[in-house]
A and B are shown apart, each in its own frame.
Chain A
């Protein structure tokens, strides 16, 4: 999952959690608030009555009667002043039922004892709980709407900000990590961001890639120089040995030894030549301006290889479509790539084995070439290293020097192909070469 998706999910879920929690808490919260408010309201009313009484005396209410009571038109509130009974009444606020004007209603009631001559009175101020409830609902709904509005706004703001914040990272991943092809030849430019962490990450990646590129360059240069420097001495040695071989009156034993020297020398020559070839590919010394017909190229190649097939009685099949052409490649390199693969397929094949070259084209998607053999296969533990230089499937020393597949790998990299291998040990191997759409012509 992408970081942005994760953050978006987290932000949305956390806000949702807040909303749910708030909705759950809201009734009791609002209940508490309105409860406190009605208590406060009742006390306010009490203060008003008390100050009236203080100013005008209790008769202002009683008007000569022994008690006073009054209520609003809809009986939401009432006030009563009654003579106190014997027992003491404390200053309390409680919820209880009263009969007002013939109706029994539940009120929140403040009770207060008025002390004074000639006798004590009890003041009651009440407010129906249903009015308090009405407030509650209204308050709840209102708060909820505002909350949802605010949350929605904050989600939008959060997402926009996160998006902007994360954007440099997305860019780093896209330009520096995805689709980057070893050995990172194209120069890299730093990404604009004010986030220090991203700056550090970006800088480190650029440095790392530059270092890799540099190391690769050095290795390439070394291989190229070393191989060149080796060519002259090898050349001298070879001429020496060849001349020696032609001397007259050499014993058979000497001939054998000279011939062995020549073989070793040849081995050395092959290695140096292959290394040089690889370094030439890596140094972009081949043009990519040829168009090759794959089927024809394979036919041409098999002329060189048919003897090898015959000696092992291997059955060769070429089912590659006859009209497929690959553009912007190098003919010789393409040839060498397939040659090395097929040559290996013969080399590691068994008597009466099979080799099949086929292709698969999915329009608008990809073109793939397959080299399928019934040979020795590759051990799972060797799969990872078969393209490395000087690795070979543990066979006799005389069979190749492990550079054939490295050359293939270098060529595929150079031509922009992708090579994959799958194999079952003892059963056979399939190499598949994926060629980019834009190079395929059908």
Chain B
């Protein structure tokens, strides 16, 4: 997946690039409108991550223009402005998603993945997790054809962890994904433990779940 990061804060652009490259995205960076346009003429991108406040132009105007230049790309707006109006305008102009700063890189990746899934017509393969298989489209977990009943939040949690497998995930990162704006700091982190405990209980009754590791004092990790 080829991605263009248009972000004038170089250090932020660098971090996003570093992160996405680890997740096997190919990334280019542009620090202003002019650079972005040049890159877009020469390349075709699957993803364009667009900051709204650029030094030589407004991101929303750029979005309007580039939608014509790169119609096949998916656009995610990254902004510190976060005004409701900008959000509506951005989505009206054809952005696929909108992520207010400060955002978690994990969240960015999960949004990108969701867009890919949506655009590809929900054709994710069924994933294997130990002795279990997980169907992301149907939002169900199976053990030898037998369906395991997980609550909505439990499934969200599990699929998020699978997406970010082999990475340590803090309770905070998990609760932010599950509760979004309503996440309530340390308070909610404890509920992550409750959810994980439930997931473990429901699944370990059927097969070992040693792929779900607890990182003491930090959070959890799915190791495959």
Report whether chain A binds chain B. yes
Q: Is the CB of B167 within 8 A of A246?
A: yes
Q: Measured between C-beta atoms, what is the minimum distance from A278 to chain B in Å?
A: 13
Q: Which residues of A contact B65 (CB under 8 A)?
A: none
Q: How far is the CA of A269 from the CA of B9 in the complex (A)?
A: 18
Tell me if B104 counts as interface (CB < 8 A to partner A). Answer: yes
Q: With the chains together, A235 CA to B218 CA distance in Å? A: 21
Expressed in whole angstroms, the Cα–Cα distance for A232 and B16 within the complex equals: 13
Q: Is B186 an interface residue (CB 8 A)?
A: yes
- A293 and B16 CA atoms in complex are apart in Å by 42
Do the beta carbons of A400 and B185 come within 8 Å of each other?
yes
* Nearest B-chain residue to A238, judged by Cβ: B102
Question: Do B82 and A231 have beta carbons less than 8 Å apart?
Answer: yes
Contact A235 B84 (CB under 8 A): no
A285 at the interface (CB under 8 A from B): yes
Asked if B182 and A311 make an inter-chain contact with CB atoms under 8 angstroms apart, the answer reads no
B187 A239 Cβ-Cβ under 8 A: no
Interface positions of A from 175 to 231, Cβ below 8 Å from B? 228, 231
A311 contact set on B, CB distance < 8 A? 190-191, 194
Please give me the residue from chain A that is nearest to B53 by CB atom.
A232
Which of chain A's residues have a CB closer than 8 A to the CB of B191? 307-308, 311
Question: How many chain B residues have a CB neighbour from A under 8 Å?
Answer: 43
B179 proximity list for chain A (CB < 8 A):
304
The interface residues of chain A, by DSSP majority, are classed as helix
- Decide: A228 and B19 in contact? CB cutoff 8 A: no
Contact B84 A231 (CB under 8 A): no
Interface segment, one of A80-88, A258-266, A318-326, A384-392: A258-266
Question: Which of the four size classes fits the interface of chain A?
Answer: 35 or more
Q: Given the known A-B contacts A231-B101, A347-B187, are A255 and B9 also in contact in the complex, defined by CB atoms under 8 Å?
A: no
A235-B103, A270-B185 known; A255+B218 contact, CB < 8 A: yes
B218 to chain A: which residues have CB within 8 Å? 255-256, 259
Within 8 A of A (CB), among B77-112: 80-85, 100-106
> Which residues of chain B have C-beta atoms less than 8 A from A259's C-beta?
170, 217-219
Whether the pair B19, A269 counts as a contact (CB closer than 8 A) is: no
Query: Is the CB–CB distance between B19 and A304 below 8 Å?
Result: no
Residues of A within 8 A of B190 (CB): 311
Contact of A231 among B102, B167, B184 (CB under 8 A): B102
Specify which chain B residues have a CB less than 8 angstroms from the CB of A366 in the assembled complex.
Answer: none
Q: Does any Cβ of A come within 8 Å of B126's Cβ?
A: no
Quick check: B102 and A242 within 8 Å, CB to CB? no
A235 and B182 contact, Cβ closer than 8 Å, known pairs A243-B15, A243-B105, A266-B172: no
- Measured CB to CB, the residues of A under 8 A from B are 228, 231-232, 234-240, 242-243, 245-246, 255-256, 259, 262-263, 266-267, 269-270, 273, 276, 280, 285-286, 304, 307-308, 311, 339, 343, 347, 398-401
The 8 A-B pairs at the shortest CB distance, nearest first, are namely A239-B15, A231-B80, A235-B102, A235-B101, A234-B102, A259-B218, A398-B186, A231-B101
- Give B residues with C-beta under 8 Å from A: 9, 11-12, 15-16, 18-19, 22, 80-85, 100-106, 153, 167-168, 170, 172-173, 176, 179, 181-182, 184-187, 190-191, 194-195, 215, 217-219
Kindly list 14 other residue pairs between chains A and B, CB separation below 8 angstroms, not including A235-B102, A242-B106, A246-B168.
A228-B80, A231-B82, A232-B9, A232-B101, A235-B101, A236-B9, A246-B167, A255-B215, A269-B102, A307-B153, A311-B190, A311-B194, A339-B182, A399-B186
